[in-house]
Chain A
Amino acid sequence: MSKPINVAVRWLVAAGLALSFGCSDTSTNEPAAGRGPSITDILSTDDTGSYRRATRPFTLRFPWDHGAHPEFKHEWWYFTGNVVSKEGHRFGYQFTLFRSALTPQPRTGPSAWTTNQIYMGHLAVTDVNNGSFYHDERFARGAMGLAGVTTEPFRAWLEDWSAIEAQPTALACNECLRLTITAVHRDFRIAITVANNKPMVRHGVNGWSQKSETPTNASYYYSYTRMTTEGAIRVNGRDHSVSGLSWFDHEWSTSFLESNHTGWDWFSLQLSTDSELMLFRMRDRERAARDYLSGSFIDRSGGVTPLAGNDFEISALATWKSLKTGIIYPSGWRIEAPGHGLSLTVSPWINDQEITSTFRYWEGAVSVKGRLGEQDVTGSGYVELTGYD
Chain B
Amino acid sequence: MILLRTGLRNLLWRPWQSTLSIIGIVIGVAVVLAIDIANDSARRAFQFANNVVAGHTTHHIIGGPRGLDEDLYRRLRVEKAIRGTVPVVEGHVQLGDGSGRRLQVLGIDPMADPMLLAGEQSTAGWNPVQLLSTRDAAVLLDSTAERLGLQIPSTLDVRYGKVRRQVRLVAGLNLIDELIATSLRSVLITDISTAQEILDSVGRLTRIDLELPDDRDKIAWLRSLLPEGTELMSSAARGSAVQQMTRAFHTNLTALSLLALVVGTFLIYNTLTISVLQRHRQLAILRTLGVSNAQLFALVVGEAMVLGIIGVIGGVGLGIALSEWLLRLVIRTINDLYFAREVQHVTVMAGGVSKVVLLGLGATLVAAVAPAFEASRVPPQLSYIRSGYETRAGESITRLLWGAVIFSALGAIVLMLPSRSLVLGFAGIFLILFAFVLLTPWLLVKIVKLIQPLLYLVLGLIGHTAARGVTATLSRTRIAVAALAVAVSTTVGVAVMITSFRGTVEIWLASYLRADIYLSTIDGSPVNRSEAALFEAIKYLPEVGAVSTGRRVTLEGQTGRTQLFVVDLERQAFDNFQLKHGDPEQAWVQFSRRGAVIVSEPYAYHNNRKVGDTLRLRTDQGERMFKIAGVYFDYGSDRGVVTLHRSTYSRYWNDPAFTSFALYLKPGADPVKLLRKLETEMLPGTNLRARSSRVLRDLSLRIFDRTFAVTNVLRLLAVIIAVTGILSALMSIQLERGKEFAILRANGFTPRQLWALVTTETGIMGFAAGVLALPLGLFMAGALIMIINRRSFGWTMQLVLTPEHFIHAVVLAASAGLIAGMYPALRIARRPPCFALRHE
Q: What residues of chain A have their CB less than 8 Å away from a CB belonging to chain B?
A: 1-2, 4-6, 8-10, 12-17, 19-20, 26-27, 30, 102-103, 107, 109-116, 118, 139-141, 143-146, 157, 159-160, 184
B203: which A residues are within 8 A, CB to CB?
A: 111-112
Q: Which residue of A lies closest to B121 (CB)?
A: A8
- Choose among A13, A15, A27, A111 the residue that contacts B116 (Cβ–Cβ < 8 A): A13
Q: Which residue of A lies closest to B122 (CB)?
A: A12
- Choose among B117, B135, B197 the residue that contacts A9 (Cβ–Cβ < 8 A): B117
State the total of A-B contacts with C-beta under 8 angstroms. 124
A184: which B residues are within 8 A, CB to CB?
A: 81
- Choose among A8, A9, A12, A112 the residue that contacts B70 (Cβ–Cβ < 8 A): A112
The reply to whether B193 and A6 contact each other, CB–CB distance below 8 Å, is no
The reply to whether A17 and B118 contact each other, CB–CB distance below 8 Å, is no
Q: Could you write out 21 A-B pairs with CB less than 8 Å apart?
A: A5-B119, A5-B120, A5-B177, A6-B55, A6-B115, A9-B117, A9-B119, A14-B114, A16-B127, A16-B129, A16-B130, A20-B127, A102-B132, A111-B192, A111-B193, A112-B193, A113-B192, A113-B196, A116-B132, A141-B132, A144-B73
- Choose among B70, B119, B129, B191 the residue that contacts A17 (Cβ–Cβ < 8 A): B129
Q: What residues of chain B have their CB less than 8 Å away from a CB belonging to chain A?
A: 55-56, 70-71, 73-74, 77-81, 109-112, 114-122, 124-130, 132-133, 135, 177, 179-180, 191-194, 196-197, 202-203
A6: which B residues are within 8 A, CB to CB?
A: 55-56, 115, 118
The reply to whether B133 and A20 contact each other, CB–CB distance below 8 Å, is yes
The reply to whether B128 and A160 contact each other, CB–CB distance below 8 Å, is no
Q: Which residue of A lies closest to B112 (CB)?
A: A140
B197: which A residues are within 8 A, CB to CB?
A: 109-111
B107 CB to closest chain A CB (Å) equals: 9
Complex-state Cα separation, A160 to B77, whole angstroms: 7
The reply to whether B196 and A102 contact each other, CB–CB distance below 8 Å, is no
The reply to whether A103 and B55 contact each other, CB–CB distance below 8 Å, is no
Complex-state Cα separation, A107 to B115, whole angstroms: 26
Q: Which residue of B lies closest to A110 (CB)?
A: B202
Given A6-B56, A115-B132: 4 more A-B contacts, CB < 8 Å: A12-B119, A110-B196, A112-B202, A141-B109
Interface centre among A14, A114, A184 (most CB of B within 10 A): A114
B117: which A residues are within 8 A, CB to CB?
A: 9, 12-13
Q: Which residue of B lies closest to A145 (CB)?
A: B74
The reply to whether A16 and B126 contact each other, CB–CB distance below 8 Å, is yes
Complex-state Cα separation, A19 to B124, whole angstroms: 12
Complex-state Cα separation, A286 to B74, whole angstroms: 48
The reply to whether B133 and A26 contact each other, CB–CB distance below 8 Å, is no
Q: A2-B55, A5-B177 are in contact. Are A160 and B79 (CB under 8 A)?
A: yes
The reply to whether B81 and A141 contact each other, CB–CB distance below 8 Å, is no
Complex-state Cα separation, A16 to B196, whole angstroms: 23
A4 CB to closest chain B CB (Å) equals: 8
Complex-state Cα separation, A146 to B128, whole angstroms: 18
B127: which A residues are within 8 A, CB to CB?
A: 15-16, 19-20, 26
In the complex, the 5 A-B pairs of residues with the closest C-beta atoms, listed nearest first: A102-B133, A160-B81, A113-B193, A111-B193, A20-B129
Complex-state Cα separation, A298 to B313, whole angstroms: 85
Q: Which residue of B lies closest to A358 (CB)?
A: B114
B192: which A residues are within 8 A, CB to CB?
A: 111, 113
A20: which B residues are within 8 A, CB to CB?
A: 127, 129, 133
Q: A2-B56, A19-B127 are in contact. Are A109 and B116 (CB under 8 A)?
A: no
The reply to whether B135 and A109 contact each other, CB–CB distance below 8 Å, is yes
A118 CB to closest chain B CB (Å) equals: 6
A109: which B residues are within 8 A, CB to CB?
A: 135, 193, 197
- Choose among B109, B115, B129, B179 the residue that contacts A102 (Cβ–Cβ < 8 A): B129
Complex-state Cα separation, A383 to B115, whole angstroms: 32
Complex-state Cα separation, A114 to B193, whole angstroms: 5
Q: A114-B193, A116-B133, A159-B81 are in contact. Are A140 and B124 (CB under 8 A)?
A: no
The reply to whether B77 and A16 contact each other, CB–CB distance below 8 Å, is no
Interface centre among B111, B117, B125 (most CB of A within 10 A): B111
A145: which B residues are within 8 A, CB to CB?
A: 71, 74, 78
Complex-state Cα separation, A113 to B192, whole angstroms: 7
B74: which A residues are within 8 A, CB to CB?
A: 144-146
B114: which A residues are within 8 A, CB to CB?
A: 9-10, 13-14, 139
B191: which A residues are within 8 A, CB to CB?
A: 113
A103: which B residues are within 8 A, CB to CB?
A: 133
Complex-state Cα separation, A15 to B121, whole angstroms: 12
A146: which B residues are within 8 A, CB to CB?
A: 74, 77-78, 111
Complex-state Cα separation, A125 to B131, whole angstroms: 33
A23 CB to closest chain B CB (Å) equals: 11
Q: A109-B197, A113-B192 are in contact. Are A160 and B78 (CB under 8 A)?
A: yes
A159: which B residues are within 8 A, CB to CB?
A: 77-78, 81
Complex-state Cα separation, A20 to B126, whole angstroms: 12
Complex-state Cα separation, A115 to B74, whole angstroms: 15
- Choose among A19, A114, A141 the residue that contacts B111 (Cβ–Cβ < 8 A): A141
The reply to whether A26 and B78 contact each other, CB–CB distance below 8 Å, is no
B540 CB to closest chain A CB (Å) equals: 33
Q: Which residue of B lies closest to A137 (CB)?
A: B114
B127 CB to closest chain A CB (Å) equals: 4
- Choose among B55, B73, B124, B132 the residue that contacts A118 (Cβ–Cβ < 8 A): B132
Complex-state Cα separation, A138 to B85, whole angstroms: 13
B112: which A residues are within 8 A, CB to CB?
A: 140
Q: A102-B129, A114-B193, A118-B132 are in contact. Are A139 and B111 (CB under 8 A)?
A: yes
B109: which A residues are within 8 A, CB to CB?
A: 113, 141
A9: which B residues are within 8 A, CB to CB?
A: 114-120
Complex-state Cα separation, A27 to B126, whole angstroms: 12
Complex-state Cα separation, A238 to B801, whole angstroms: 80
A115: which B residues are within 8 A, CB to CB?
A: 132, 193
- Choose among A8, A14, A111, A114 the residue that contacts B120 (Cβ–Cβ < 8 A): A8
B77: which A residues are within 8 A, CB to CB?
A: 146, 159-160
B345 CB to closest chain A CB (Å) equals: 18
Complex-state Cα separation, A13 to B137, whole angstroms: 16
B407 CB to closest chain A CB (Å) equals: 46
A324 CB to closest chain B CB (Å) equals: 19
Q: Which residue of A lies closest to B203 (CB)?
A: A112
Complex-state Cα separation, A4 to B176, whole angstroms: 12
A95 CB to closest chain B CB (Å) equals: 15
A143: which B residues are within 8 A, CB to CB?
A: 193
A181 CB to closest chain B CB (Å) equals: 15
Complex-state Cα separation, A159 to B180, whole angstroms: 30
A16: which B residues are within 8 A, CB to CB?
A: 110, 126-130
A4: which B residues are within 8 A, CB to CB?
A: 120
A262 CB to closest chain B CB (Å) equals: 24
The reply to whether B70 and A118 contact each other, CB–CB distance below 8 Å, is no
A101 CB to closest chain B CB (Å) equals: 9
A97 CB to closest chain B CB (Å) equals: 14
Complex-state Cα separation, A375 to B114, whole angstroms: 52
A125 CB to closest chain B CB (Å) equals: 18
The reply to whether A13 and B128 contact each other, CB–CB distance below 8 Å, is yes
A19 CB to closest chain B CB (Å) equals: 5
B241 CB to closest chain A CB (Å) equals: 23
Q: Which residue of B lies closest to A13 (CB)?
A: B114
Complex-state Cα separation, A107 to B110, whole angstroms: 17
Q: Which residue of A lies closest to B51 (CB)?
A: A2
- Choose among B122, B177, B202 the residue that contacts A111 (Cβ–Cβ < 8 A): B202
B138 CB to closest chain A CB (Å) equals: 15
B124: which A residues are within 8 A, CB to CB?
A: 26-27, 30
B79: which A residues are within 8 A, CB to CB?
A: 160
Complex-state Cα separation, A5 to B121, whole angstroms: 9
A163 CB to closest chain B CB (Å) equals: 14
Complex-state Cα separation, A12 to B128, whole angstroms: 9
